[in-house]
Structure 1
Amino acid sequence: MEQGRETFCCDEDTFGNVYQMMTTLGRGAFATVKLAFHVPTVSYVAVKILANGKGNCARNNNEVDIMRSLVHQHIIKFFQEVQTREMTYLIMDYASKGDLLRQIRKPGGLQECEARRLFAQVVQAVKYCHDNCIVHRDIKANNILIDASGNAKLCDFGLAVKVVPGTKLKTFCGTLAYCDRELFGVEPYDGYASDVWNLGVLLYYMVARHLPFQVSSSAGLRQQILAANFSVPHHVPSDIFSIIVELLMINPDRRPTISQILRRPMIRDSKAQASWNSIQSLPGTPSPSIVGTMAGMGYQREGIIECLRDQKYNQAMAKYLSLQHRAPGETAAITR
Structure 2
Amino acid sequence: MEQGRDTFSCDEKTFTNVYQMMATLGRGAFAAVKLAFCTPTVTYVAGKILANMKEYSARNNNEVDIIKSLVHPHIIKFFQEVQTQEITYLIMEYASKGDLLHQIRKPGGLQECKAQRLFTQVLQAVKYCHDNSIVHRDIKANNILIDSTGNAKLCDFGLAVKVVPREKLKNFCGTLAYCTPEVFGVEPYDGYASDVWNLGVLLYFMVARHVPFQASSSAGLRQQTLAANFSIPHHVPIDIFSVIVELLMINPDRRPTISQILGRPMIRDSQEQASCNPTRSLPGTLSPSIAGTMTGMGYKPEGMIV
1:291-302 pair list within 5 angstroms: 293-295=290-292, 297=293
Which letter does structure 1 place at the counterpart of 2:255?
A: R
Which letter does structure 1 place at the counterpart of 2:170?
A: K
Whether the 8 Å CA contact 1:134–1:161 is kept in 2: the answer is yes
Task: Name the residue aligned to 2:165.
Answer: 165
Structure 2: gaps (5+ residues): 275-280
Note if 1:244 corresponds to 2:244. Answer: yes
Which letter does structure 2 place at the counterpart of 1:67?
A: I
Task: Name the residue aligned to 1:136.
Answer: 136
User: What TM-score do the two structures reach when normalised by structure 1?
Assistant: 0.84
1:99-178 pair list within 5 angstroms: 99-178=99-178
Aligned-CA RMSD value: 2.0
Deviations 1:216-269 (A, max 9, x none): 200000000000000000000000000000000010000000010001110122
Which letter does structure 2 place at the counterpart of 1:70?
A: L
Task: Name the residue aligned to 2:67.
Answer: 67
Aligned-residue offset at 1:315:
2.8
Whether the 8 Å CA contact 1:103–1:110 is kept in 2: the answer is yes
Whether the 8 Å CA contact 1:79–1:321 is kept in 2: the answer is no
3-state secondary structure, aligned to 1:26: strand
Which letter does structure 2 place at the counterpart of 1:232?
A: I
Task: Name the residue aligned to 1:317.
Answer: 299
Task: Name the residue aligned to 1:50.
Answer: 50
Distance in 2 of aligned mates of 1:153 and 1:294: 23
Aligned-residue offset at 1:5:
2.8
Distance in 2 of aligned mates of 1:31 and 1:197: 25
Task: Name the residue aligned to 2:230.
Answer: 230
Distance in 2 of aligned mates of 1:165 and 1:86: 37
Note if 1:199 corresponds to 2:204. Answer: no
Whether the 8 Å CA contact 2:52–2:88 is kept in 1: the answer is yes
Note if 1:89 corresponds to 2:89. Answer: yes
3-state secondary structure, aligned to 1:32: strand
Which letter does structure 1 place at the counterpart of 2:305?
A: H
Distance in 2 of aligned mates of 1:147 and 1:207: 20
Which letter does structure 1 place at the counterpart of 2:188?
A: P
Deviations 1:115-151 (A, max 9, x none): 0000000000000000000000000000000000000
Whether the 8 Å CA contact 1:201–1:248 is kept in 2: the answer is yes
Which letter does structure 1 place at the counterpart of 2:165?
A: P
Whether the 8 Å CA contact 2:193–2:252 is kept in 1: the answer is yes
Aligned-residue offset at 1:290:
5.0
Distance in 1 of aligned mates of 2:302 and 2:23: 23
1:2-81 pair list within 5 angstroms: 5-81=5-81
Deviations 1:281-302 (A, max 9, x none): xxxxxx9x7555455x5x8xxx
Deviations 1:40-85 (A, max 9, x none): 0001000000001111111111001100110000000000000001
3-state secondary structure, aligned to 2:149: coil
Distance in 2 of aligned mates of 1:249 and 1:294: 48
Structure 1: gaps (5+ residues): 274-279, 281-286, 305-313, 327-336
1:269-284 pair list within 5 angstroms: 269-271=269-271
Whether the 8 Å CA contact 1:8–1:315 is kept in 2: the answer is no
Q: What percent of counterpart residues are identical?
A: 77
User: What TM-score do the two structures reach when normalised by structure 2?
Assistant: 0.92
Whether the 8 Å CA contact 2:139–2:198 is kept in 1: the answer is yes
**Deviation >6 Å, runs of 4+:** none
Deviations 1:98-126 (A, max 9, x none): 00000000000000010000000000000
Whether the 8 Å CA contact 2:6–2:80 is kept in 1: the answer is no
Which letter does structure 2 place at the counterpart of 1:245?
A: V
Which letter does structure 1 place at the counterpart of 2:48?
A: K
Whether the 8 Å CA contact 2:38–2:44 is kept in 1: the answer is yes
Change (3 A) 1:294 1:225: closer
